[in-house]
Structure 1
């Protein structure tokens, strides 16, 4: 069945790619192979290639086949977290003395990994506004090995032109990595636009239910995939079978959920725009968003993430996030439930004092799939 997946629509791939009924029992859902090791038929006589679950596990394999199919890639590797996937990608593609170009509106954890860990290994980086193609091209060095971009970005919802960045990366002999966590493979397909690697925190929309932590790297470059797989096995940052199963289960309904997330976000944006207590709304679906035209070109819809600035400043923003009832104050995003947070004090605290520091009056919403009228009333009451 998996050989047919390239012809299937997204929703069909999400349910069937890599997920044939179990040949022994007929189970229609991939089993949880909760085992650490596998019996061998003589020394080196592996059954279906499995020997030890750090290296490979059938439940994880099913997830990886599905993720590759959803992103339109030929290879996918699952990890214990999005940061584990980021770490393996960076360590595989750089060596001491190499250079990375990073978006100047990057996730705080990515910035921390590069600024506090990779630099100890001798890797240098430059933070650039990746929507400024001239500035991005100017930042290239002979030692540049990676351009690392989120689009949309976290938390300011900036948009980068993936095809244009891919051309710049090729010109500079670098690889383009796109963190597709916010958009998901349902809303955006970076590999088809020229990206070399797609990264996901599968904790977020792909898992979708705030009950699992995971990450993934997807590529159509066999050599890169081999490097990632070697380091993942050597370092051991793999998800367990149950985590893989939960993520695979979540991915089955991704298309349905992303439509609802997007519907709800659009209605909430309309409400925020009418409030005199909000000074600015960040959402790529707005016609006056600086990246709107590019987002409309490379995304199916604009997603469920919204950020906004509170007119009265930081304390008012902190007060607001403590008053909502349906929007739960918490880090992370992409679950069925709505979340609210203060990036400057929470997810992006690690960027304080750096060029990536976020505005103190900023609030970020991860809009869930609840009734939009209830969510709007909750925000209006809190405001």
Structure 2
């Protein structure tokens, strides 16, 4: 079955007794036991719920993994992954990552004796050089947020295998529709499901998919032990959002390609960061491992004073944090999503007071361009 069909058929007729096309919402905390020592497979919703199981099995199918898990947020998912490690362990983290991920490493898990190094993982050589005797994992985003740097997943998977480490990939930007890191050798994939998977700016959720059941069982234990799972109602919303993932990603991709090219021609724009552009330094690697470029564009303007001008003048595009919804959103990473990144690192990466990040929606592309044009004038 093609991926587009797999997406649409998540949860269809999952309730064999009724034949319901739409997955029912099993809004119950407890399940009755048939007899002493017997179970229907469901005992308590924290451990397992039929609605959540549908979305967890579905995302595992799309990522081609062994086990899928749905959490209350993307950060809850990443937190659970980091709980696989213990005091004394070292993790390599992509230097250009979401600010919340950096904050989690720097301000929380360091308190428990887990150390980390920030590395430009788009360079396999620099990444390999950062490995220590106690390094247990490499955590990457590709494309990165917000500078859209590309990391060679297969190359880093090979390095991890050689050193008996795990490769963790945040696949939020591209989703399994455009990129499947587990097929390239990654061990764990995480998503802020709030973004493209749910797709409508109305649901907070996170996802983990593992390549092998041995890691999956550890995640399952942590999910149940900490109680950090997605509710039945929100699981149903995620299922519904996933149904249109293929259609939405195609439109995001189409629109972003047009808008990135247009931005590249504008006199007040000095840099456009989008892997679909021929000038992108990581395009060759990106095209090797992904089938699309997604809907996120970052761009720098010629004058910092132009940033508040754009943010105050956009009318069609919404000035808001987050990304991946059907509506176009624009944000200012240096003061919003990446404020927890130290200033020196932000400046080295290019996350300056001139950088904006655009989450391109599925509206008519010309309407998005027209709004940007009037805001730039």
Q: TM-score range by the shorter chain?
A: over 0.9
Question: Which runs of no fewer than 5 residues in structure 1 stay unpaired?
Answer: 1-7
Alpha-carbon distance between aligned partners in 1 of 2:128 and 2:309, rounded to the nearest angstrom: 41
Within the candidate set 291, 306, 317, 1:327 is matched to: 317
Within the candidate set 24, 30, 33, 1:37 is matched to: 30
Q: Which moved more, 1:14-23 or 1:144-153?
A: 14-23
Which residue is 2:161 aligned to?
A: 170
* Cα pair 1:142 1:172 within 8 Å, conserved: no
Within the candidate set 130, 141, 151, 1:160 is matched to: 151
State yes or no: 1:106 paired with 2:97: yes
* Cα pair 1:106 1:356 within 8 Å, conserved: no
Alpha-carbon distance between aligned partners in 2 of 1:43 and 1:257, rounded to the nearest angstrom: 48
Which residue is 1:221 aligned to?
A: 212
> Aligned-pair RMSD on alpha carbons?
1.1
Alpha-carbon distance between aligned partners in 1 of 2:318 and 2:240, rounded to the nearest angstrom: 24
Within the candidate set 342, 358, 363, 2:356 is matched to: 363
Which residue is 1:9 aligned to?
A: 2
* Cα pair 2:65 2:210 within 8 Å, conserved: yes
Which residue is 1:5 aligned to?
A: none
Question: Which runs of no fewer than 5 residues in structure 2 stay unpaired?
Answer: none
* Cα pair 2:195 2:201 within 8 Å, conserved: yes
* Cα pair 1:341 1:363 within 8 Å, conserved: yes
After superposition, the C-alpha distances for 1:18-60 in whole angstroms (9 at most, x for unaligned) are 533521222101001111111112233211x101111110000
Q: Helix, strand or coil: the match of 1:344?
A: helix
After superposition, the C-alpha distances for 1:324-369 in whole angstroms (9 at most, x for unaligned) are 1111111110000000000011111111335245222110000000
Which residue is 1:268 aligned to?
A: 259
Alpha-carbon distance between aligned partners in 2 of 1:348 and 1:165, rounded to the nearest angstrom: 25
Which residue is 1:203 aligned to?
A: 194
* Cα pair 1:160 1:294 within 8 Å, conserved: yes
The alignment of Structure 1 onto Structure 2 pairs a total of residues equal to: 373
Alpha-carbon distance between aligned partners in 2 of 1:136 and 1:262, rounded to the nearest angstrom: 30
Alpha-carbon distance between aligned partners in 2 of 1:86 and 1:106, rounded to the nearest angstrom: 13
Alpha-carbon distance between aligned partners in 2 of 1:267 and 1:362, rounded to the nearest angstrom: 20
Alpha-carbon distance between aligned partners in 1 of 2:335 and 2:37, rounded to the nearest angstrom: 52
State yes or no: 1:188 paired with 2:165: no
Alpha-carbon distance between aligned partners in 1 of 2:186 and 2:102, rounded to the nearest angstrom: 20
Please report how far the alpha carbon of residue 77 of structure 1 lies from its aligned counterpart in structure 2 after TM superposition: 0.7
**TM-score scaled by structure 2?**
0.97
Alpha-carbon distance between aligned partners in 2 of 1:81 and 1:11, rounded to the nearest angstrom: 25
**TM-score scaled by structure 1?**
0.95
Which residue is 2:17 aligned to?
A: 24
Which residue is 1:316 aligned to?
A: 306
Please report how far the alpha carbon of residue 11 of structure 1 lies from its aligned counterpart in structure 2 after TM superposition: 1.2
Q: Helix, strand or coil: the match of 1:280?
A: strand
Which residue is 1:147 aligned to?
A: 138
Residues 1:111 and 1:178: Cα distance change in structure 2 (over 3 Å)? same
* Cα pair 1:321 1:363 within 8 Å, conserved: no
Q: Helix, strand or coil: the match of 1:350?
A: coil
Which residue is 2:334 aligned to?
A: 344
Which residue is 2:70 aligned to?
A: 78
Please report how far the alpha carbon of residue 301 of structure 1 lies from its aligned counterpart in structure 2 after TM superposition: 1.1
* Cα pair 1:104 1:356 within 8 Å, conserved: no
Alpha-carbon distance between aligned partners in 1 of 2:346 and 2:31, rounded to the nearest angstrom: 47
Alpha-carbon distance between aligned partners in 2 of 1:233 and 1:194, rounded to the nearest angstrom: 27
State yes or no: 1:254 paired with 2:245: yes
Alpha-carbon distance between aligned partners in 2 of 1:43 and 1:157, rounded to the nearest angstrom: 55
Alpha-carbon distance between aligned partners in 2 of 1:44 and 1:368, rounded to the nearest angstrom: 51
After superposition, the C-alpha distances for 1:219-265 in whole angstroms (9 at most, x for unaligned) are 12111111111111111111101111111111111111101001110
Structural mapping, 1:55-74, within 5 Å? 55-74=47-66
* Cα pair 2:256 2:360 within 8 Å, conserved: yes
Please report how far the alpha carbon of residue 172 of structure 1 lies from its aligned counterpart in structure 2 after TM superposition: 1.8
Alpha-carbon distance between aligned partners in 1 of 2:322 and 2:81, rounded to the nearest angstrom: 21
